[in-house]
Amino acid sequence: MGWWHIRQAAGAMHRGGVIAYPTEAVWGLGCDPFNETAVYRLLAIKRRPVQKGLILVASSVQQVKPLLDNLAAEDRERVMASWPGPVTWILPDPDNLIPYWIKGDHTSVAVRVSDHYQVKSLCEAFGSMIVSTSANYSDKEAARDKLKVNIHFRDKVEMIVPGELGSLSRPTKIYRLDSDKPVRS
């Protein structure tokens, strides 16, 4: 995987496109989270209702810092201790920094600062967080190989970013601040 592919994928997202890319455990679909048209297109491709919400992924804590500013110090420390890494946190968004089409029917947003090389590179090249949802139709299992991504999404996305999945066998754990037990494990 070269920088050319990463730059092409970032450019596609800047133009409102949807991409497929490898993540820590499964192939993902991504786009610019602040481009409403792109997000609704991604949701249509995936056949996922907007009400469920989507995960955002970032390359650095700096990219999600505004969401951390309202947290209590101990919550912020807990979150930061797990990043970068394969841990997704459901964070409050009292200032409505994140649009409805990302949060769905929730007042919070699911966010991860990844340590996966390609995810980090995509977010860095894009200059911001991106959407990270599994590459599958809502009622199907997430794609763990590029062949499935090609079969189901090749003609629905602007680009399939070449690369390798991380070492996780399951999608990242998701935690809430008010519990030590994961929402998704």
Rounded CA-CA distance 185/173 in Å is 5
3-state secondary structure 115-181: CCHHHHHHHHHHCCCEECEECCCCCCCCCCCHHHHHHHHCCCCCEECCCCCCCCCCCCEEEECCCCC
Rounded CA-CA distance 31/42 in Å is 7
Rounded CA-CA distance 58/50 in Å is 21
Bridge-based pairing of strands 19-22 and 133-134 is unpaired
CATH H-level, domain 3-176: superfamily: DHBP synthase (3.90.870.10)
pLDDT at 1: 53
| Residue labelled with tokens 């590459």 | 135
pTM score of the predicted model: 0.94
Does residue 125 contact residue 7 with C-beta atoms inside 8 Å?
yes
pLDDT at 139: 81
| Residue labelled with tokens 């964070």 | 91
Closest CA to 126 of 134, 135, 118: 118
Q: Domain ranges for the chain, please list them.
A: 3-176
pLDDT block averages, 10 residues each, the chain of length 185 = 89 98 97 98 97 97 95 96 96 95 97 97 98 92 91 96 93 91 84
The CA radius of gyration of the chain, in Å to the nearest whole number, is 15
Residue 182: asked if its preceding bond is cis (omega within 30°), the reply is no
- CA 146 vs. chain centroid, Å, equals 18
Closest CA to 68 of 102, 108, 33: 108
